Amino acid sequence: MSTIVLLIITGLGLGALYFLVASGLSLIYGLMGVLNFAHGSFLTLGAFAGLEIARRMDGASWITLFASLVVGAVVGAVVAAATEFFLIRRLYNRHIEQVLVTVGLALATVALFDGIWGTDPTYVTGPAWFSETTEILGAKVPNDRFVLIIAAVLVLLGIVLFLKFTRFGLIIRAGVENRSMVTALGIDVRKAFTVVFAIGGAAAGLGGVLASHYFGYVSPQLGGSLLIFAFIVTVIGGLGSLAGAAIASALVAVLQQFANYYLGGTGDLTVVLLLAAVLLIRPTGLLGSKA
């Protein structure tokens, strides 16, 4: 029983990380039809920005952690908004060029991070409470998992409230459904594009700082490795569906943990098989309305 509880909570912690990346990917694709392969770079940059803050402050304090999270989110948001404004904006409806630019940016930023921070992982320490465990139904759960889960839930709630109660949120929801008609109502939908990129970048930057604590290190490859699973989650959840991304994040990560534990480390393979099954049975994903 304790093993199952541990696998579920650890899986939800990993799922929280997937969600922080996938939420941005899903919103960006839903509104703009852009598959953003550079999204992992926002996460990595957020993680390194958080690391730099931790180096300059007392790395083991809660205040440092909070400052790292804020700075990681802000850096992610600013860089993502700049990416949309300077690179993506000219390429809407030009999908091949979008892929080339975002893949190129992802490769270039990894090289840039290599140059600045080196290719080796840089280890991260958080508050002492992070490395302790809390016992739940006999399972000793690492405390950082709870922070990850709470952060992801808060981000999900924040995005839902933003979409529900703000003018930009209204524009984004309408734009996901029919971008052309939003424009035909006299609304400059490009501003919403930038806002969505910024939100996605902030979530990814926040995820970067949390991922550095989850894995215990930051490396230039951090974002890329999470991006693959975030894409899988986005497709399984349904492209453009935030709720789908949330459900799929939890489902994929928990399944991955169980397969790793009970099926001899076949978590990644199981996730890919799940992706294949969803694509065959329900190509639009769990909650997606369009392919």
Partner 1 sequence: MTAPILRVEGLGARIAGQQVVESVTFEVPARGVTALLGRNGVGKTSTLKGILGLIERWGAVEFNGERIDNLATHRIIQSGIGYVPEDREVFASLSVAENMRLAERNGGPNRELVDELFPELLARAGQLAGTLSGGQQQMVSLARALVNDNTLLLIDEPTKGLAPLIVLDVTTALGRAAEAVPILLVEQNLQVVRALADTVVVLESGLVVFTGPANEFLDNEELTTELLGVHLTDVGATGDNA
Could you tell me the smallest distance in angstroms from the CB atom of residue 207 to partner 1?
27
Could you tell me the smallest distance in angstroms from the CB atom of residue 188 to partner 1?
5
How many other CB atoms are there within 10 angstroms of residue 120's CB atom? 10
Can you tell me the distance from the alpha carbon of 222 to that of 208, in angstroms, rounded to the nearest whole number?
A: 8
Q: Which is nearer to partner 1, 129 or 173 (CB)?
A: 173
Q: Which is nearer to partner 1, 179 or 213 (CB)?
A: 179
How many other CB atoms are there within 10 angstroms of residue 124's CB atom? 22
Could you tell me the smallest distance in angstroms from the CB atom of residue 233 to partner 1?
22
Cα–Cα nearest to 12, from 236, 254, 270, 261: 254
Contact 234, 27 (CB under 8 A): no
How is residue 266 written in tokens? 């076949």
Binding site for partner 1 (CB under 8 A): 170-171, 173-174, 177-178, 180-189
Radius of gyration of the chain (CA): 19
Contact 10, 141 (CB under 8 A): yes
Q: Which is nearer to partner 1, 96 or 280 (CB)?
A: 96
Q: Which is nearer to partner 1, 1 or 185 (CB)?
A: 185
Could you tell me the smallest distance in angstroms from the CB atom of residue 185 to partner 1?
5
